[in-house]
Chains A and B, each alone.
Chain A
């Protein structure tokens, strides 16, 4: 099977779905690039090149560059989805949702319910999250928990190129609005990815490591770190299960609860800040439903409750890393 980058996997998903269904369109800031400019067309293919090559194949009618007007074009994507298209809108950085949150929170998420089920909004908003690019406070956040909180939205957070392709195709075929969160430092990650089209269902967690001692639930990029830690500790005889929920809404609570009932120990690893987050939500779930199985207090490995800093030294201290995850696993293991 060929190795592909996270970026290529996403591009392939978009291309295959656009070939399959003429109602699928792509829109966003510079998703082709060079619109109206005298130089090269398809100059960017998105700020990090994910949509490169789509415009030459599908034309400007289906790959639409937008003005920098997130409220207008994200809202337009909602309206287009409600009236028969299947738009994939790129919100360049998840941080920019502050500019257009009403379109997501009050329009996309609510139309179906408010209209008594007589509307559907098959919309995907692809957006880039996460720290690690020295991009500082307004371009580095992991804000998926805000979307997870809102009924009517689905939230997918792929943890690898294989996951990215299957989850994006699923998102495009889904009849509900999906916030699709891509970690910006993962675009060059390589993995074997099938050429053919495939889907990964939402709400079904992926168990990436199986073990008896500790359950690690990790989100997005943190799955990779957690796998590394599990592999290292396995050599010492500490065996960890690593669960990638894949989607935080819907959340596969069953897989998490089953695993904790077997291991009795839970570490949740999440790059987001820790208050009212996916990590605290999973901890609450386990505390409510699997309390009797717990052999040790639940440990959370998250960012601190601060904005993302600029200076590399500070940013590195902000991001959860394998050392912190390992320490948390050892801490829960110390409680017999």
Chain B
């Protein structure tokens, strides 16, 4: 299925928003104003957007500790996200989750997750709900190459196959689980591993929005049609460290610079749509400006937002107690 101009513009807008959001959080974190642990998604934008463009409001996703990109791609409010990361009132989770647990159930975003491999079991549950209540929905678990070695992920793929759940497992293999290379830590081929658990899939270049979008479309349509769980292995790279503050000395000199100049997802997207005449460079430039202004405003509003009131410590532990 060919994407129309509006969809292409929307895809670029989302990818640019994620990039701008992450680049800005990177700078703001360095200035010391953002508390806690932050893991940035820059470089992987085509994965979240390519997958989530195939989802609707009835669908759920579960994310990883590197969750900002998935949040934005699933339609979460960017300004409320920024407030959350600053721990302010009006944050997406009222300042109680922070970057690592950012979520919005009303958008089908079941949360970033501080536990590596935390998402896949939750997604089996969301898929079970979709199947039981016949919502027509699918549920997508994003896992990193670290999470792909967790028992929860493997058990969940098996459970999804056994129960024939509308669940999709997306491995975002960005090359490193913390500082450890995925080429070392994953035994065997991820595609064969998934297939061995009864979950067929394919591997594509995670820098290439179009490749991700098409593969995700095939996977999600087959799963939505009731054919059981699907798998995607997206090969990609992250631009920043595992967490903000990681000096990334484990990476080769100039590794990231080389990827940025040769395989950057925004660059590849722009080249393809402009060269093919689908979109004009000026349209994309305008989006760049729009997004920059949005993120400026998000940061300014987050910094100006009040802190949570101390009594909020005690609320929302239980629905009733």
Contact = CB atoms under 8 A, between A and B. Distances in A.
Interface of A: 23, 25, 61-62, 64, 66-67, 69, 71-85, 87, 102-103, 106-107, 110-120, 122, 151-152, 154, 174-176, 203, 250
A273 B315 CA distance: 32
A174 B130 CA distance: 22
A102 B103 CA distance: 19
Contacts of A82: 105, 110, 122, 125-126
Q: Which interface residue of A62, A64, A72, A85 has the most chain B CB atoms within 10 A?
A: A72
A114 B127 CA distance: 22
B57 interface: no
Interface stretch (B38-46, B89-97, B174-182, B277-285): B89-97
A203 B124 contact: no
B232 interface: no
B285 to A, nearest CB: 37
A77 B96 CA distance: 23
B117 to A, nearest CB: 8
B121 A71 contact: yes
B152 A75 contact: yes
B96 A116 contact: yes
Nearest to A81: B125
B315 A117 contact: yes
Interface stretch (B158-166, B205-213, B262-270): B158-166
B123 interface: yes
A115 B101 contact: yes
A114 B96 contact: yes
A23 B128 CA distance: 11
A115 B105 contact: yes
A29 B214 CA distance: 38
A-B pairs, 5 with minimum CB distance = A75-B121, A79-B125, A116-B94, A117-B316, A79-B122
Given A73-B121, A75-B120, A116-B94, 5 more contacts: A77-B125, A112-B318, A175-B319, A176-B318, A203-B321
10 contacts: A62-B132, A69-B159, A72-B120, A74-B121, A75-B125, A76-B159, A80-B125, A84-B129, A118-B103, A118-B105
Interface in B64-123: 91-97, 101, 103-106, 110-111, 113-115, 118, 120-123
Given A107-B118, A176-B318, A71 B151 contact: yes
Nearest to A112: B316
B125 A114 contact: no
A85 B129 contact: yes
Contacts of A81: 125
B160 to A, nearest CB: 9
B316 A116 contact: yes
B21 interface: no
Interface residues of B, number: 49
B277 to A, nearest CB: 43
Contact of B133 (A66, A79, A85, A176): A85
B1 interface: no
B318 A154 contact: yes
A25 B92 contact: no
A119 B105 contact: yes
Contacts of B129: 79-80, 83-85
A66 B128 CA distance: 12
Nearest to A249: B321
Contacts of A23: 133
Interface in B174-198: none
A62 B132 CA distance: 8
A67 B110 CA distance: 24
B240 interface: no
Nearest to A62: B132
Given A106-B118, A115-B101, A66 B93 contact: no
B146 to A, nearest CB: 15
A87 B317 CA distance: 20
Contacts of B320: 174-176
Contact of A79 (B92, B121, B316, B319): B121
Nearest to B115: A106
Given A82-B105, A84-B133, A116-B95, A72 B111 contact: no
B155 interface: yes
A302 to B, nearest CB: 27
B230 interface: no
